[in-house]
Amino acid sequence: MRQAGRYLPEYRRLRGDRDILETCRDPAQVAELTLQPLRRMDVDAAVLFSDIMVPLAAVGVPVRIEAGRGPLVDEPVRDTRGISRLRPLEPEADVPHVLEGIRLVRKELDRPLIGFAGGPFTLASYLVEGGPSRDQARTRAMMLSSPNAWDSLMRALVGVLLPHLRAQAGAGADALQLFDSWAGALAPDDYDRSVLPYTRSIVDGLDGLDVPLIHFGVGTGELLPSMARAGGDVIGIDWRTPLDVGWDRIGGPASRAVQGNLDPATLLASWDVVETAAQRVLDRAASRDGHVFNLGHGVLPATPPEIVGRLVDLVHERTERPR
Amino acid sequence: MRQAGRYLPEYRRLRGDRDILETCRDPAQVAELTLQPLRRMDVDAAVLFSDIMVPLAAVGVPVRIEAGRGPLVDEPVRDTRGISRLRPLEPEADVPHVLEGIRLVRKELDRPLIGFAGGPFTLASYLVEGGPSRDQARTRAMMLSSPNAWDSLMRALVGVLLPHLRAQAGAGADALQLFDSWAGALAPDDYDRSVLPYTRSIVDGLDGLDVPLIHFGVGTGELLPSMARAGGDVIGIDWRTPLDVGWDRIGGPASRAVQGNLDPATLLASWDVVETAAQRVLDRAASRDGHVFNLGHGVLPATPPEIVGRLVDLVHERTERPR
């Protein structure tokens, strides 16, 4: 999950009121914001500072990000004309700042760096809804009622996302994460028919790069087997599904590694609550190989930074360090 | 699910721009809005027109409902002082309009009437967040970090909800539905510890009324066994969980009836898409007794009313009518 964020005072100081997409276009700030969390916490990897809307903005989608609300797309994409304007991403020309940011991070970083992109359903949902929504109803409606338009939209998004991920790996990212955060709005049948093929073509397109892929969504209890079939070396599980239950549903450790899944809201409670809940996650992974400890979703802005650092140490104390 | 709503032109005409809570305090309008859908559709039961915030407003919580946004609570409840202001509901004094609305409906209606209330976690989330939120993080944080305050809040809500439900049954509701819509934000352990006992005390308090209770939440795939343990004669399943999968998770038809679960977004597609998807739901319930066909969540405002009526007829044609 994103490590940089408003819960860190040094992040708030550096970011100020500057637009987040503008910050993402500044390689020095990208590098600094990526590295900040590692200066105070003993995490095992860095997560690139960026935003899932960056590649869409880079191909000309009129997107802005409003603090406290999320991404807003002033001209939602709801028809063939809108879709036809989504051109493929040419990374060196369109997102040079991301790649330069990665190269700057690589110079300083002695740990793995995780790059990322939004998943195709999630990006489609922002494009179709024009902003965040509770259950992506308009997107689901388009998916169900206009399969041809949906196919064009998803293909166009693959043409943005795959080059973006490949270029991040090329610039020095050691692992990649695909955040199909809102895919959990779908029933498995619909996901299998209307999202899985496109995600799989992204996964297939990363073949041969030797960069592991983490595949994550929120509220995906029912979707875990489908998401695993779509692809990813590691499947992220949100806090709603007990880690062992989710792991069994995917097919167990023989099938795939998992990432997760402490409820981020836990970190707003006292340390003994955090400790008990973290141990519960570790217990659910005990005696299995291939667990990446993480939160079940992003760090909440009200989280005390000290608690995050203490959690990292606790997990290290109670588990074997990765090689 | 709610049958009345903005998708019906006669609803929009009658409601106009009037505040929804104000409308809920007008028994004649409550009755008319409850009956409207039955004048155009052959549904098997009426659903009382009301809002889950009605009983909270009735005990003095400063709540207003903003069109397109949802319930807003201007002074969120986040401490003992806020909680102590939540007094028990006295139905005849506090919600006489609801009870009078039910009596008016009963005079005209030749089918069962379903009354309802919000579930304790869902109402707590509006009180604590001050409005709708994506994942109820602040509510979950309070639940985890202040168990005593949480206990007081949940007890106070039981003191509002149980009398409200009992009074609806007393006034003529033939069945009741508990909408703990946002309980799906919780991991099962947390639900079991912090919500289940309170929901169960509501269920127990309805004992002896001989009025069946439907218990529903959104995104509750992982919670279905817990919700069934909390209580309810019928467990509602949202569209994300295939009906048979959810039913098996609860314990199968021997354990409980289920309600659901056509994706409401389906109704925005063409009729053949609706027909196929509805048949898929029926197939998943085939050869089992105790399925109440319904949508997996509320009717979306853009839904063509004709499609809803046609769906009702389709389900009747393809299933045995209830006695």
Name every residue whose Cβ is closer than 8 Å to that of residue A273 and which is 6 or more positions away in sequence. Answer: A266, B144, B145
Per-residue pLDDT band at A143 (split at 50, 70, 90): very high
Domains of chain B: 9-236 (3.20.20.210), 260-323 (no CATH)
Active-site hit among A25, A51, A190, A238: A51
CA distance B242 to A270: 38
From chain B, pick out residues whose CB is under 8 angstroms from the CB of A242: 187-189, 222
Q: What is the pLDDT of residue A208?
A: 92
pLDDT digits (tens, 9 = 90+) for A219-269: 999 999 999 999 999 999 999 999 999 999 999 888 899 999 999 999 999
Q: Is it the case that residue A119 has pLDDT exceeding 60? A: yes
Percent of chain A with pLDDT over 90: 93
Active site residue A155: no
Give the C-alpha distances (Å, rounded to integers) separating B321 from B106, B121, B174, B282: 22, 35, 18, 14
Within 8 A of B138 by CB-CB distance, chain A residues are 265, 302
Is the per-residue pLDDT at A322 higher than 70? Answer: no
Q: Cis omega before residue B294 (within 30°)?
A: no
- How far apart, in whole angstroms, are the C-alpha atoms of residue B141 and residue A200? 36
Cβ-based neighbour number of residue A94 at 10 Å: 21
- The pLDDT of residue A148 is 96
Q: How far is A129 from chain B (nearest CA, A)?
A: 13
Q: Helix A243-250 and helix A271-285: axis angle, to 10°?
A: 30
Strands B113-118 and A63-66: unpaired
The residues pairing with A72 across neighbouring beta strands, listed in sequence order, are A64
Q: CB of A56 within 8 A of CB of A24?
A: no
Q: Which amino acid is at A7?
A: Y
Kindly give, in sequence order, each residue whose CB lies less than 8 Å from that of residue A255, ignoring residues fewer than 6 positions away: A228
Quick one: pLDDT at residue A194? 98
Q: State the catalytic residue, choosing from B11, B25, B94, B126.
A: B126
pLDDT tens-digit series, residues A4-16: 999 999 999 999 9
Classify each residue of A64-88 as buried b or exposed e, where b means 16 or more C-beta atoms within 10 Å of its C-beta.
ebeeeeebbbeebbbeeebbeebee
Choose among B257, B209, B204: nearest CA to B233: B257
Contact A190, A143 (CB under 8 A): yes
Instruction: Return the residue in A222, A274, A297 with the most chain B beta carbons within 10 A, the one to mutate for interface testing.
Output: A222
Question: Residue B321: its pLDDT value, please?
Answer: 67
Say yes or no to pLDDT of A188 above 70.
Answer: yes
Give the C-alpha separation, B83 to B91, whole Å. 20
Inter-chain CB proximity B141 and A268 less than 8 Å: yes
SS3 category, B211 = coil
How confident is the model at residue A1, as a pLDDT?
A: 82
Comparing CA positions, the residue from B104, B102, B3, B7 lying closest to residue B54 is: B102
User: Half-sphere exposure of A148 toward its Cβ, with a 13 Å CA cutoff?
Assistant: 3
- Report the alpha-carbon distance of residue A36 to residue A13 in Å, rounded: 12
A15 is known as an active-site residue: yes
Q: Are A292 and A258 in contact (CB under 8 A)?
A: yes
Would the pTM count as exceeding 0.80?
yes
Mutate to test the interface with A, among B126, B145, B276, B299 (most CBs of A within 10 A): B145
Q: Give me the pLDDT at residue A257, please.
A: 96
Confidence check: pLDDT of A23 > 90: yes
ipTM of the complex: 0.91
Separation between Cα atoms, residue A5 and residue A12, nearest integer Å: 8
What does each of the 323 residues of chain B score in pLDDT, given as a tens digit? 889 999 999 999 999 999 999 999 999 999 999 999 999 999 999 999 999 999 999 999 999 999 878 999 999 998 999 999 999 999 999 999 999 999 999 999 999 999 999 999 999 999 999 999 888 999 999 999 999 999 999 999 999 999 999 999 999 999 999 999 999 999 999 999 999 999 999 999 999 999 999 999 999 999 999 999 999 999 999 999 999 999 999 998 888 999 999 999 999 999 999 999 999 999 999 878 999 999 999 999 999 999 999 999 999 999 976 65
Residue A288 pLDDT > 90: no
**A273 closest CB neighbour out of B135, B145, B241:** B145
Please give, rounded to a whole number of angstroms, the shortest distance from the CA of B165 to a CA of chain A. Answer: 28
- Give the B-side interface with A, CB within 8 Å: 132, 134-135, 137-138, 140-141, 143-145, 184-190, 218-219, 221-222, 239-242, 245, 263-266, 268-270, 273, 277, 280, 297, 300, 302
Q: Is A316 within 8 Å of A42 (Cβ atoms)? A: yes
Q: Phi/psi zone of residue A260: left (φ > 0), alpha (ψ -120 to 50 degrees), beta?
A: left
Token pair of B320 as six digits: 């045995």
Three-state secondary-structure class, residue B238: coil
Is pLDDT above 90 for A323?
no
Measured between beta carbons, the chain A residues lying within 8 angstroms of B275 are none
Residue B268: which of A145, A188, A266 has the nearest Cβ?
A: A145
Q: Which residues of B are less than 8 Å from A221 in CB distance?
A: 221-222
Are residues B99 and B168 in contact, defined by beta-carbon separation less than 8 angstroms? yes
- For position B11, what pLDDT does the model report? 97
Q: Tokens for B127?
A: 């009180």
Residue B177 pLDDT = 98
Rounded distance between C-alpha atoms, residue B265 and residue B249, angstroms: 25
* CA angle centred on A46, ends A308 and A115, rounded to 5°: 130
Nearest CA in chain A to B270: A145
- Own/partner pairs, A150-155, CB within 8 angstroms, 24+ separation: A150/A124, A150/A194, A152/A80, A152/A83, A152/A84, A153/A77, A153/A83, A153/A86, A153/A124, A153/A127, A153/A128, A154/A120, A154/A124, A154/A194, A154/A195, A154/A198, A155/A198
Cβ neighbours of B113 (radius 10 Å): 21
| Each residue's pLDDT tens digit, B231-247 | 999 999 999 999 999 99
C-beta separation of A161 from A198 below 8 A: no
Distance from CA of B35 to the nearest CA of A (A): 27
Order of strands, sheet of B257-262, starting from the edge strand that comes earlier in the sequence: B46-47, B113-118, B175-179, B213-216, B234-236, B257-262, B291-295
Does the annotation mark B15 as catalytic?
yes
- Chain A interface mutation, best of B69, B227, B240, highest count of A Cβ atoms under 10 Å: B240
Q: What's the pLDDT score for residue B134?
A: 84
